[in-house]
Amino acid sequence: MLGDGNLSYAPRGRNAYYREHFCQQQYEYRLWKYTQLKNLGFKINKNNILKSISHPVFSDLYEKFYVNKCKTIMFDNIKLLNEPVGIACLYMDDGSLVISKNNKPNITVNPIITLYTLNFSKEENLIMQEHIYKTFNVKFYLKKHPDGKKYILTTGKREEVFNFLDIVRPYVSQIASMNYKWDIEKRIGDECKKDKRINTRDFYNRKFLSYTDEDIDKIIEMKQNGYKDLDIANKLNRSYWGIVWKIRDLRSKNII
């Protein structure tokens, strides 16, 4: 809803339906969405549109999100963005990972995450910024942009970037064509091939992305001893949501 999707009514429709258009290059991503939603009556048609059936649930969402037929973020409706899969889809729809470089002789790199929330006003972006911080503990910053309604959300702070990717990676990594949006190591490796002057030593001081066997053993031990997910995250220097979803993954494999 907050990304590429929208709600609409057919000319004589009683209830609203959901749809999103996409280009052929995005087909793998939309197919992934379809596989999650097909049991709810979603389909992909020949015109590259992911579309739902008409249903009262979408009429209810229309009432929550549309003001004068315009999609609008408010303090009440943004609360529905409360699971990592939601922020992951927003990121895959409208987000980017850029590896920036400075111009010093000893070049260093820094990842930047941006959500191109250009369809929303400054006030709406501020509501989303506050909600993401409260719900997912990731601090984005408001930034002016020449297009759309002139504002986007972005962060170049390393810990915020790592924490954000911990949250969205379980979903984004399922789609091969989306690897460029989460695989920092590969992205930096590609940059190093282009420019041998890049210094990555400081960048790799913080261990991230993969869990070692030792990490997993510690998670299992602490979970079996009754530790809360937040305590485990602090102990392993990981994001809270990263630990939540790693534990869910271990449970799905009957390891915990």
Over residues 205-237, the pLDDT tens digits come to 444 456 788 889 999 999 999 999 989 988 888
Average pLDDT over residues 3-25: 94
50 CB burial (10 A radius; 0-12, 13-18, 19+): buried
Average pLDDT over residues 31-47: 95
Over residues 74-97, the pLDDT tens digits come to 999 999 999 999 999 999 999 999
Q: Higher pLDDT residue, 226 or 242?
A: 226
CA 18, CA 59: separation in Å to the nearest integer? 10
Radius of gyration in angstroms for the set of CA atoms belonging to the chain, rounded to a whole number:
20
pTM exceeds 0.85, yes or no: no
Tokens of 77: 């409706």
Among 152, 97, 144, 88, which residue's Cα sits nearest to residue 120? 152
Contacts of 239 (CB under 8 A, 6+ apart): 137, 162, 163, 166, 167, 233
CA 163, CA 238: separation in Å to the nearest integer? 7
What is 6-30 written as a DSSP string? EEEE-TT-SSEEEEEE--GGGHHHH
Cα separations in angstroms, 206 against 46, 102, 255: 46, 20, 27
Contacts of 226 (CB under 8 A, 6+ apart): none
pLDDT at residue 105, as a whole number: 67
Over residues 115-133, the pLDDT tens digits come to 999 999 999 999 999 999 9
Average pLDDT over residues 3-11: 94
Helix (H, G, I), strand (E, B) or coil at 32: helix
